[in-house]
Chain A
Amino acid sequence: MNLFRSEEHVEQWLAGQPAGATIPVATLAELAHQWYADRLASNWRPHTREQNQAILDGLGLTGPFWQLA
């Protein structure tokens, strides 16, 4: 799970292996906020799979690649 300067850099890094998913860094920042903002809250409870899937879905991260186990 890394950052890249451009799509060309992603492709070079993959070196022919199958790609995963590439998203804009702003989407990643929002994903991280929704995923982790409650992590240090005193009333923290583990996210359910459904909660986490809803976070992904809400950001348009849909399709087989983004389906949680």
Chain B
Amino acid sequence: MDDADLRLRNVTYELFVQLGRAPSAEEASLAAGMDVSEGWRRLHEQHALVLDDAGAIRMANPFSAVPTAHRVDARGWWWFANCAWDAFGICAALDSDGRIETSCADCGEPIALDVRDGRLDDETLLFHCLVPAAHWWDDIVFT
């Protein structure tokens, strides 16, 4: 990743956190002082962002640009995570305590977890990863 793409990536992530949602291409272009479409495409190809078919941000891992079943309350804001892993990743990225709300993928029973100083208030839960690591990026939205 060259320095220009690195700066664009950082501007995009900073905007995501400032806005509490994914920036549009117009918002990011204004902040970056350049059209971001081609740069975002390069970042997508390098797995630094995930774009949807229209070229908008779908994921800036661990953040999701679209509503999901994994919500995180951290730094006074509710965020959507791409998966259970990323829910914890949001607390880590924000260097923040947080509350994770999701549900058991089998029975649908609500799950709420508090993360305080990296420790969980319920360690009885299990995490299941269906896709082998070598194939995570084959279809990252499915993964």
Whether B88 and A29, one on each chain, are in contact in the complex, defined by CB atoms closer than 8 angstroms, is yes
Whether A28 and B127, one on each chain, are in contact in the complex, defined by CB atoms closer than 8 angstroms, is yes
- Total number of residue pairs linking A and B with CB closer than 8 Å: 161
B interface, CB within 8 angstroms of A: 1, 6, 9-10, 13-14, 17, 46, 48, 61-62, 83-95, 102-107, 109, 111, 113, 115, 118, 120, 122-137, 143
Given contact pairs A12-B107, A24-B126, enumerate 16 new A-B contacts (beta carbons under 8 Å). A3-B103, A3-B105, A3-B125, A5-B125, A9-B126, A13-B105, A21-B128, A22-B126, A31-B88, A33-B118, A36-B61, A39-B13, A40-B14, A45-B1, A46-B48, A68-B136
A sample of 7 inter-chain contacts (CB < 8 A) reads: A1-B85, A1-B130, A5-B126, A22-B126, A24-B126, A26-B123, A65-B132
